[in-house]
Structure 1
Amino acid sequence: MSTQGQKVAVITGASQGIGAGLVTAYRRMGYSVVATSRGIAGSPDPDVLTVQGDISDRATAERVAAAAVERFGRIDTLVNNAGIFLSKPFTEFTEDDYDAVMGVNVGGFFRITQLAVEQMLQQGGGHVVQITTSLVEHPNSAVPSVLASLSKGGLQAATTALAIEYASRGIRSNAVALGTVKTPMHPEQHHAALARLHPVGRMGEISDVTDAVVYLENAPFVTGVILPVDGGQTAGH
């Protein structure tokens, strides 16, 4: 069990990149963390519990939520970070592309969020955060992204709907809508081109994302917000 009063964060897609950065950020805030992804390794930190599994599979969501409550006794925050981003012309998306993207981005959000919210209701409050893309609100002809917008746009709509449904019961729901962030997903030879997509002239760093999530975590009067962390892309070009 976590020490009395210690908060607990569940983070999906937690093995590398933004997810790994979020694990570190929540530990720095004194949270215990349940970290899940398909290939996640064990952690030497007794306050980090890792659970392997594909979040698009409902059974994984159920194992993660049960592990959080069994090990630490509660769930205070859920960060729905797991996501697949595929950019290709709309007519070239395959059925497999559709199943993979919707399975992780939408299916992966749905069951784990239901379970987390049920637990938060028992505790009297909590916080759910979605990681989305600013392409939902600000499409770019250079980055065709209908599947990303279909899935992450659904998450943004769900973010505000959750915020209002549970506002009177102490559960907040927010999202950060990202530009392109330097992660293992983007090979270095593409960095210069990706930097030029952002009015500020650079890609995002993982710290830019974690700083935004930490802000939302510590902002009890903020709910139902889609916070662009995108180097100015939402504002214009």
Structure 2
Amino acid sequence: MKTQTIIVTGASTGIGKAIAGLFLKYGYNVVINAANENNLQAAFEELGHHDRLAQVAGDISNTNTGEALVNMAITRFGAVNVLINNAGIFEPKPFLDVNEAYLDKFLNVNLKGTFFTSQAAIRQMLKQGEGSIINIGTVLVDHAIGGFPATAPISSKGGIHALTRQLATEFGKNNIRVNGIAPGIIRSPLQAKIGINNADSLAGLHLVDRIGEKNDVAELALYLAGSNFITGEIINLDGGHVAGHHIS
């Protein structure tokens, strides 16, 4: 079986780097991306397997970045079998404090980045006759938390959920599967960026009474990439966050 090639956006740290590492472990060719060139180079060195690893630095909100990722995958490895749209930004801000420029920041990186990178990948997947796209959303689209105002990023992530189902419908007959992963609280550098110093303090939001780990997301992405019969699904990876609550 020919070695599969995967593109992972936002792969210099956190969930994206964990995904890239797991796919490398299982023999995939991997193209990684991040906006920060220094962080991307550090991840490239750490991940190793340089015979099967390539990198493209660039802001995913720029449509040229998605095209460059696809071109790198084709030039270096000859195909684009899987795209994981992981790159994104997230932070809370009260709704009445959100201005147009602030909202546009999330729409551009999260939704526009996912939209146009998928477009570049699907053009190639149509030529190949198959492909898989996995988008990273959030359980907060369907299960908001009082006291955590984040309308701007959640609006952009809601767009990603809708885009996932629409693309699955539009390209299912072309053997292109499109799914989403909606994580709960996952241990990553994101928590520190939004002022959460102890991520484990949020464990009670999940029925399993723990937060998720980066590899939990990576393992689900690996499964979805290999499945040829799952499409149009948004899978909650949330320790039961959406399913129910503990009485505190």
TM-score range, shorter chain: over 0.9
Residue 21 (structure 1) aligned with residue 18 (structure 2): yes
Which residue number in structure 1 is paired with residue 241 of structure 2? Answer: 233
Q: Which moved more, 1:21-30 or 1:10-19?
A: 21-30
The gaps in structure 2 that reach 5 residues or longer are: none
In the alignment, does 2:7 pair up with 1:10? yes
User: Which residue of 2 is the match for residue 216 of structure 1?
Assistant: 224
Instruction: Identify which of 138, 146, 159 aligns with 1:141.
Output: 146
| % identical aligned pairs | 38
**1:189 aligns to what SS in structure 2?**
coil
**Letter matched to residue 203 of structure 1:** I
TM-aligned CA deviation for residue 181 of structure 1? 0.6
2:61 equivalent in structure 1:
56
**Residue 204 of structure 1 pairs with residue 212 of structure 2:** yes
User: Does structure 2 conserve the Cα–Cα contact (< 8 Å) formed by 1:136 and 1:148?
Assistant: no
> Which residue number in structure 2 is paired with residue 161 of structure 1?
166
Q: Which residue of 2 aligns with 1:30?
A: 27
Spell out structure 1 runs of 4+ moving beyond 4 A. none
In the other structure, the counterpart of 2:100 is 95
- 2:86 is matched with 81
Q: Deviations over 1:58-82 (max 9, x none)?
A: 1212211111111111100000000
Q: CA offset at residue 186 of structure 1? A: 1.6
1:191 pairs with 2:188? no
- TM-score, with structure 2 as normaliser: 0.90
Unaligned residue ranges in structure 1 (runs of 5+):
none
Q: Return the alpha-carbon distance in structure 1 between the equivalents of residues 233 and 141 of structure 2.
A: 14
Q: How far is 1:111 from its partner?
A: 1.4
Distance 2:64 2:227 in 1: 32
Distance 2:51 2:81 in 1: 18
> Match of 2:208, as an amino acid?
V
Residue aligning to 1:170: 175
Question: Normalised by the size of structure 1, how large is the TM-score?
Answer: 0.94
Matches of 1:214 and 1:28, distance apart in 2: 11
**Displacement of 1:199:** 2.4
Shift of 1:203: 1.1
Q: What amino acid does structure 1 have at the position aligned with 2:93? A: K
Letter of the aligned partner of 2:156 in structure 1? S
Partner residue in 2 for 1:151: 156
Give me the whole-angstrom Cα distance separating, in 2, the residues matched to 1:38 and 1:18.
15
Deviation at 1:148, TM superposition (A): 2.3
